[in-house]
Amino acid sequence: MHSEVGTTLAEALRDELSLTGTKVACAEGHCGACTVLIDGVPTLSCITLVHTVGDAKVTTIEGLRDHPMVHAFVREDALQCGFCTPGQIVSAVALVDATPKPSTEEIRHAMAGNLCRCGAYPKIEEAIRTWQD
Amino acid sequence: MARLIRTEKEVEGRYEEVWLVVEEDALEQWPAGPREIVGRPATRIDGLERARGEAVYTADLKLPGMLHTAVLRSPYAHARVARIDLAPALALPGVHAAIGPGELDVLVEECGFQGVAVAAVCADTYAQARAALAAIEVDFEQLEVLIDPDEAVARGELIGEPRVRERGDLERGLAEADVVVTGEYRTQVVLHNSMETHQAVVQWLGDSLEVYISTQYIWGVRDEVSSSLGLPPDKVRVVCHYMGGGFGSKNEAGDFTFIAIELAKRTHRPVRCALTRREENLASGNRNATIQRLTIGARADGTLTALGGDYVNATGWGGWSSPVEGPMQMLYACENVKTTTWAAKINQPPMKAFRAPGFVEGTFGLESLLDVLAAKLDIDPLELRRHNYATNDAADGRPYSSKNLLECYRRAEPHWERRHEVRARSTETVKRGVGMASQIWYGGGGPPSYAWVRVGADGRATVVTAMQDIGTGTRTAMAQIAAEELGIPLAHVTVSLGDSARGPFASISAGSSTTPSMGPAVRAAAADARRQIEEIAEQRGTPDAPLGEIVGLLEDAQILGKGGRGPNPTGMQVLTFGVQVAEVAVDVETGEIWVDRIAAVHDVGRVINPLGASSQIEGGIIQGIGHTLSEHRLHDPRTGQILTTSLDAYKLPTFADVPEIVSELIDEPDMQLTNLGSKGLGEPPIVPVAAAISNAIRDATGAEVHELPISREEMLRALRAAALKEKVGAPAGI
Amino acid sequence: MELRRASSLELDGGTPLHGGTELVPLLRSGIVQAETLVDIRGVVPRGIDGSTIGAGATLAELECDPQIPDALREACRLAASPQLRNVGSLGGNLLQSTRCWYWRLKWPCRLHRTSDGFGEECFAQEGEHREHAIFENGFCASAHPSDVAAALVALGATLRTNRRELPVADLYRLPSEDDRRTTTLEPGELLLSVELPQTDRSVYLKAMDRKSWGFPLVGVAAARTEGETRVALAGVAPIPWLLEGSLDDATPLPRNAYKVDVARALVKRAVSSLEAS
């Protein structure tokens, strides 16, 4: 990493490493599009300073491309424009890692920080419910 | 055979008369109902690359040597740039160019709204551009602001002339009425908030220009840019392979594109200009606020005798006057109708089309007041709507190309019937109820639109057309149509789109027009290819040979089919219809509202992809719930400055706000419309949401809601008003 | 700007950074300036040990820990969004700034420094204030957004810092002409842990504009110990508001009187739920 202090993890991923699967939609921690896993925990990369990440393991959508959740999203039509989708999938993967068969309530609670303006929520819920199929 | 016709072209409820060269549409429609591929659920053919983060959006594009732009926008609602000095910005590290008022049309000295572009800087990095922006020395002279739409109308500060639409005699209709109800309804400013903000990356290649842009209309951007720069259109290439939502806000090129073009010209470098979220919520358009003063007169049996509406569009500093009166003009049979619509020019950011502009707002007012009438007449709201059903276009008497609203009402009955059971579950503090509202909107599309279909020796086909998929699943629907017509598996069709240099003209992705405009062109192109293959088979003396066998002979040769969108049926009105039934719960002490369930039944002709269609319906309803309950762009009442530009303050619906959604489509092809009989579905689902919810609230509590959003304060106000009315025994209505 | 990891509780004038959910956006929007950021995650306790909670514990950890009293657990569960709760710390939550849009948009209000001192106006009072304070809004009408702080005030929690121990309520002060601060935190002072006294029952109720991911229009925390009930509110005053008098004492602004109705209903429910159980 060559970036200056103050650079966010999202900027480092996208601009320095060209890992553009992580999207930035608000750049101030409000929408969840930039969600990545830091040591398995869904984290907003747009308000995480890259210099605070240290040795922690960062997982982006690029690291989850073959995860069954990706296919569940496609199968259930759980995306429309697709811009929030990588962040949705990252949050969903963390949820099912901890709770393989989450209830509707658990899905809604865990996913409430990932905004989708197209309104794919019902089908995202279905994708998470059926990700192992 | 090509034919020159004069035809009416409609986008978002705005009509213009145009001369068009159209191809006759010689194909017979397919029989109604699901086919092998069309009419059956298909997953998105571009789903995987979007889900895996591989799809390259404009936001992801990085060209060698690309510079980044920051734009200075007016912080004031009304101001004049008294002095500006760009020199300090130019002196900073990494800065390549800076431009200000007078150097480009979109950079202004007179600022009529907060967010209008004044100056721009480009630098090696975005951070450098931001730092340079802060270094620009600028003094604004603040001017008096006009932000009250009624005051603007009183002062004659209007955009265009007031729009008066009249049939029959309103006064006579009111005199004939046994009951008259009136109401004032207000709707708020809502913001599109596409997840990908407005942005463009441009580069000059010699005297040609490449524009990569997040857009709903590649060809519109090409026209705007080429005419503005005086370039031949073919010198401008516009590319949009993937885009992160538009909802009507991305129909035009926008200031950011012209800024990038100018800076690229000056620096001889590719330039990106992207709006931040906060800029997006100032300068990329909005659904404007409205004030609606409505009157309905009816006979005791429910027959509407008079509909009157005075509508004020709080349009902003620019934009156009959305058809907020459309539902009153079009939804019901009524002989005496008069509406007047003013577009107030105020110091607020200009409106842009937003998913059924005008009709979302107008349906809220009309359908809310219609339920007040139903209560006063003691007629079931569904029966009242059936009683006033329009069999020909209510506004001008033209026949509909097709209308299955009665069938929608019939299929809504089981959902409507639930109201007794729902109400019975009310408690002392949580009241439950059911409400309904009808939907009317355009969505017929039209010519011109073209497609090519290429079939190779491997028996696979590629649809080539320079349209865009804004997230609605257009790629998939077009592939289904081509596969169906060619008789090959869906997986054997790819779709090449998103590039004005690679494919023929295609329609705007707005106004629910993409499928009805493009679908018939794609089918015609596929049919052209199929006919050629059949001709080869005939020549070989094997007329019944499968497609694969014939094209297998091609080697490097290809079958090239081309197709165009035929004209719309002459003298007919092409519209979409539907009804929604909402179930809500209201906490009468805290004003909290839960939308528990929405059932939607819509009539949009033939359904191409039921899976994608249900996603469109769900998305429209959820956006509608945001517009109804939580979204509100607030401004400072003294200065007009916008206060809710970030997504903590501007409240989009989250996962937790989503009700149970049940959707159904009539799936009856419009026999008059094209070779497909399909209409658009992008907008219809959002139209009746607010009215259905407000009517359900009334059913639950007796409280009449008059403003969107139905915030805690509006809900508690309505409850207080209802309680007071009950106490003093005041008559219904206001 | 530079960033270093704290090796002790002495920050040498640096700006402490924990989860960053508040500080990073404020830095990037220029509301906060810092030359040196000090990552304090290594030195602030984060464990939960019976009634003692490290200030570095995240809201996500607290929302699912059965040792935590209901009011605090529910306040955490209903706060912010999942990703923000995942890294946002208890201490950081208590020290968050108001969501007042005028303040966040850097209008030169009474809480913002200007070139010569502080601003001289509260823009919300005459402006748009539907989300603002209904108590003590005469000088600054901002509303305190912390669900967690209201819960801790109701629970009667105490704070331990690297300098002192104090009731949570004493962390806060109403801004005034002479002193614009909203907390009593001193330069270099770090929140280290929260001590929860024994309570019998507690509850947190929250009104938002949407069902999740919203700051409180009104949040009501109530805790009952030995027959005594303490009620504290979020979103109704420039600081977490211990309700000692009546809601009739509220002084709402023209466009936020609804908050009094909402608060009245939620307080009634919170108190009666504690008495009933």
In this complex, the chains that touch A, judged by 3 or more CB pairs closer than 8 A, are B, C
Architecture of domain C49-114+122-276: 2-Layer Sandwich (3.30)
Residues from chain A that touch B241, judged by Cβ atoms under 8 A, are: none
A104-111 and A85-98 helices cross at what angle (nearest 10)?
A: 130
Interface list for B 6-25 with A (CB within 8 A): none
Locate B713 and state its tokens: 């304060």
Express each pLDDT in B468-484 by its tens digit: 999 999 999 999 999 99
Residue B689 has pLDDT above 50, yes or no: yes
Query: pLDDT at position B216, please?
Result: 98
List the CATH code of the domain at B289-444+572-728: 3.30.365.10
CB atoms within 10 A of CB B150: 12
Residues from chain C that touch B587, judged by Cβ atoms under 8 A, are: 265
Cα distances (angstroms) measured from residue C269 to each of B74, B733, C220, C231, C252: 47, 33, 10, 11, 21
The pLDDT confidence band at residue B730, using thresholds 50, 70 and 90, is low
Residue B228 has pLDDT above 70, yes or no: yes
Please tell me which residue of chain B has the smallest CA distance to C209: B630
Residues from chain A that touch C20, judged by Cβ atoms under 8 A, are: 47-49, 52
Strands laid side by side in the C201-207 sheet: C201-207, C218-225, C228-234, C241-242
More confidently predicted of A90 and B731:
A90
Cα distances (angstroms) measured from residue B569 to each of B92, B330, B402, B442, B536: 61, 19, 11, 14, 34
Domain at B2-55+445-495+505-564, CATH class: alpha beta
H or E element, residue C160: strand C158-161
CA–CA distance, C258 with B667 (Å, rounded to integer): 46
B691, B185 contact by CB (below 8 A): no
| Alpha carbon distance, N-terminus to C-terminus of chain A | 40
Strands laid side by side in the A41-44 sheet: A41-44, A35-38, A58-59
| Helix segments in B590-655, DSSP class H | 610-625
- The whole-angstrom distance between B645's CA and the closest CA on chain A is 10
- The whole-angstrom distance between C194's CA and the closest CA on chain B is 28
- Profile chain C (277 residues) by mean pLDDT over runs of 10 residues: 95 96 97 97 95 98 95 98 98 98 98 95 98 98 98 98 98 98 96 97 98 98 95 98 96 98 98 88
Helices and strands, counts by H and E, chain C: 9, 14
Residue B118 has pLDDT above 60, yes or no: yes
The pLDDT confidence band at residue A2, using thresholds 50, 70 and 90, is confident
Residues from chain A that touch C25, judged by Cβ atoms under 8 A, are: 28-29, 47
Instruction: Say what percent of chain A tops pLDDT 70.
Output: 99
Cα distances (angstroms) measured from residue C44 to each of A5, B581, C8, C9, C92: 22, 53, 9, 8, 11
| Helix segments in A1-129, DSSP class H | 9-11, 68-75, 85-98, 104-111, 121-129
In this complex, the chains that touch C, judged by 3 or more CB pairs closer than 8 A, are A, B
Which of C84, C112, C104 lies closest to C20, judged by CA?
C84
Q: Where along chain B do its domains lie?
A: 2-55+445-495+505-564, 61-144+192-283, 289-444+572-728
Q: Where along chain C do its domains lie?
A: 1-40, 49-114+122-276
Residue B659 has pLDDT above 70, yes or no: yes
A121-129 and A85-98 helices cross at what angle (nearest 10)?
A: 30
CA–CA distance, B410 with B412 (Å, rounded to integer): 5
Residue B1 has pLDDT above 70, yes or no: no
Cα distances (angstroms) measured from residue B676 to each of B38, B187, B394: 10, 37, 26
Which of B261, B274, B369, B469 lies closest to B706, judged by CA?
B369
Yes or no, beta carbons of C209 and B637 under 8 Å apart:
no
Query: pLDDT at position B733, please?
Result: 45
List the CATH code of the domain at A9-129: 1.10.150.120
Express each pLDDT in B333-358 by its tens digit: 999 999 999 999 999 999 999 999 99
Mean pLDDT score, B511-532: 96
Query: pLDDT at position C277, please?
Result: 62
Yes or no, beta carbons of C207 and B589 under 8 Å apart:
no
Phi-psi region of A89 (alpha: psi -120 to 50; beta: other; left: phi over 0): alpha
Query: pLDDT at position B12, please?
Result: 75
Which amino acid would we find at residue B342? W
Which of C217, C250, A52, A105 lies closest to B630, judged by CA?
C217
Residue B609 has pLDDT above 90, yes or no: yes
Query: pLDDT at position B22, please?
Result: 74
Express each pLDDT in B6-40 by its tens digit: 777 777 777 777 777 777 778 999 999 999 999 99
Residues from chain C that touch A45, judged by Cβ atoms under 8 A, are: none
The minimal CB distance from C82 to the residues A29, A47, A113 is found for A113
Selected for mutation to probe chain B from A14, A76, A81 (highest B CB count within 10 Å) is A81
Please tell me which residue of chain A has the smallest CA distance to B47: A74
Query: pLDDT at position B132, please?
Result: 98
Contacts of B724 (CB under 8 A, 6+ apart): B730
Express each pLDDT in B378-419 by its tens digit: 999 999 999 999 999 988 899 999 999 999 999 999 999 999
Residue with tokens 């979007």: B50
**Fold equal for B2-55+445-495+505-564 and B289-444+572-728:** yes
Residue B696 has pLDDT above 90, yes or no: yes
Residues from chain B that touch A125, judged by Cβ atoms under 8 A, are: 655, 658
Which of B243, B213, B244, B237 lies closest to B223, judged by CA?
B237
Express each pLDDT in B171-220 by its tens digit: 999 999 999 999 999 999 999 999 999 999 999 999 999 999 999 999 99
Selected for mutation to probe chain B from C99, C210, C256, C260 (highest B CB count within 10 Å) is C210
Query: pLDDT at position B7, please?
Result: 75
The pLDDT confidence band at residue B734, using thresholds 50, 70 and 90, is very low
Q: With a cut of 0.85, is the ipTM above it?
A: yes
Q: From start to end of B465-606, where are the E strands?
A: 493-496, 559-564, 576-587, 593-603
Yes or no, beta carbons of B590 and C207 under 8 Å apart:
yes
Please tell me which residue of chain B has the smallest CA distance to C218: B590
List the CATH code of the domain at B61-144+192-283: 3.30.365.10
The overall pTM is greater than 0.90: yes
Query: pLDDT at position B443, please?
Result: 95
Express each pLDDT in B274-307 by its tens digit: 999 999 999 999 999 999 999 999 999 999 999 9
| Alpha carbon distance, N-terminus to C-terminus of chain C | 53
Q: Where along chain A do its domains lie?
A: 9-129
